[in-house]
Amino acid sequence: NVRTPANASKAGKPDAATLSKRAAAQGSEAGDLGAGLSDMQALLNPVAGEAYLSYKQPTLQNKIFTQLKQGKLRWYDAVDIHGCTIEEARDAMTQLLSQAKQNNETVVKIVHGKGSEAILKTCVNGWLRQLPEVLAFCSAPPKDGGNGAVLVLLKKTKTDKE
């Protein structure tokens, strides 16, 4: 029973399979946040590397959305996924969001880069729209990565059991 790693050449960096196995092993305190995310839905709506991303749930106040767009809302946590595979990116993003949820953080930053194909940017754009806990997101202000990153506004977690 000889197991040779399929990607022994890329030593050092765990591949998507390893990461997803690891995530599975650690159990999903994330509440399977990323489980139902459709890449297909994301990839059917490709966005350009230079495109400005902007999305908000109808219930969110415009004032808050404007603050997010202007970079006035402080982000707590960030993840840099550019250069990742789609699998790795999805795992990293959902992990960031579930951590934020646990820590009651409402704004996070996802750095997706803006490559020629902008695949990750397209995926992030599509995935975030599928998550009920995402109130809004938009491309970051230039100082925070501009169109190569998004700021995400999350629902507050209700801690007090009323």
Q: What is the pLDDT of residues 75-101, one digit of tens each?
A: 999 999 988 999 999 999 999 999 999
Answer whether 114's CB lies under 8 Å from 148's CB: yes
Domain membership flag for residue 100:
yes
Residue 66's pLDDT is 97
Domain membership flag for residue 99:
yes
Looking up residue 71, the CATH number of its domain turns out to be: 3.30.1370.110
Separation CA 4–CA 157 (nearest Å): 44
Which residues contact residue 117 at a Cβ distance below 8 angstroms, ignoring those fewer than 6 apart? 49
| Residue bearing tokens 């997803």 | 20
**Residues of the chain predicted below pLDDT 70:** 1-35, 158-162
Number of domains in the chain: 1
Residue 33's pLDDT is 59
Domain membership flag for residue 32:
no
Domain membership flag for residue 149:
yes
Domain enclosing residue 120, as ranges: 54-156
Residue 148's pLDDT is 96
Separation CA 146–CA 87 (nearest Å): 24
Domain membership flag for residue 45:
no
Separation CA 3–CA 130 (nearest Å): 38
Residue 153's pLDDT is 98
Separation CA 89–CA 81 (nearest Å): 6
